[in-house]
Amino acid sequence: MQNILYQFLHPWHWLTYGQNAAGVAAVAAILALVGLYFYTKYTRKMMLLQQETQRAVITPILVSIGPINFVSVESKEDLAAQLGIVAPAVAAYRPVVTVRNVGQGAAIYITSWAQSVTEKFTMGGSILFVQSSETNGGDQPLEALLQGESMEIKFSLMNPSQVKGRLLFVIQCQDAASGQHQLQLLYSHWPEGSVQMTMVHGPLDPSSKAK
């Protein structure tokens, strides 16, 4: 027992023995693998940090400025309305959303759309795609927004039953590296109006976008 303890406390003795050369080589190989693992992990971490830093410079961040406005553009006038007894009934509304780019990067190739959603729908933090054939397209006067710029988007007409339900508004754009980004607005509780807003960024590699 004392001999074993002595050898343990004096490793330079047994490491120099010829018969232990294979063991020393094995230990060295294991230590090299461990070092390689941590080096690779560190290198990957630094690479990801560099990618995130580079992406922040080109990433647009859209926010909604003010409430979502529903402008009445059509009305139905019956006899009582014509006589001025009651106000004309609104037949259609035009939703209007004002957005601003508060990110560092330019928002380019801007498109927008809106559709009715059910009570079960929730925004899950991922890029959304059109799920309904009855989609209301948006009319945006600009195809790009630089940092600090704003734009008013007018959507196609909606009937009163749509407005009184739950509505999803999506303003979509790309960055300079073709990365996809979406401002998602979930509107409910008309006419007071309640809006949930989230900005979703697609993957770093555009080729890995969900189909």
Distances (CA, A) of 201 to 50, 118, 182: 17, 24, 7
- Cβ–Cβ under 8 Å, residues 77 and 88: yes
Q: Count the domains in the chain.
A: 2
- Do 125 and 168 lie in one domain? The reply is yes
- Do 116 and 202 lie in one domain? The reply is yes
Q: What is the dihedral of CA 121, 126, 130, 135, to 10 degrees?
A: 60
- Do 28 and 69 lie in one domain? The reply is no
With 50 as the cut, is the pLDDT of residue 210 above it?
A: no
76 phi/psi in degrees, rounded to 5: -110, 125
Query: For 192-207, what is the mean pLDDT?
Result: 84
pLDDT value for 87: 61
Note down the domain range covering 171: 62-208
pLDDT digits (tens, 9 = 90+) for 130-155: 877 789 999 999 989 999 999 999 99
Using CA atoms, how far apart are residues 208 and 211, in angstroms rounded to an integer?
9
- Do 90 and 40 lie in one domain? The reply is no
- Do 150 and 202 lie in one domain? The reply is yes
What is the sign of the dihedral through the CA atoms of 137, 141, 143 and 147? negative
- Do 94 and 164 lie in one domain? The reply is yes
Identify the CATH number of the domain in which residue 198 sits. 2.60.40
- Do 177 and 76 lie in one domain? The reply is yes
- Do 104 and 203 lie in one domain? The reply is yes
**pTM: predicted TM-score of the whole model, two decimal places:** 0.71
Banded pLDDT at 90 (limits 50, 70, 90): confident
- Do 69 and 18 lie in one domain? The reply is no
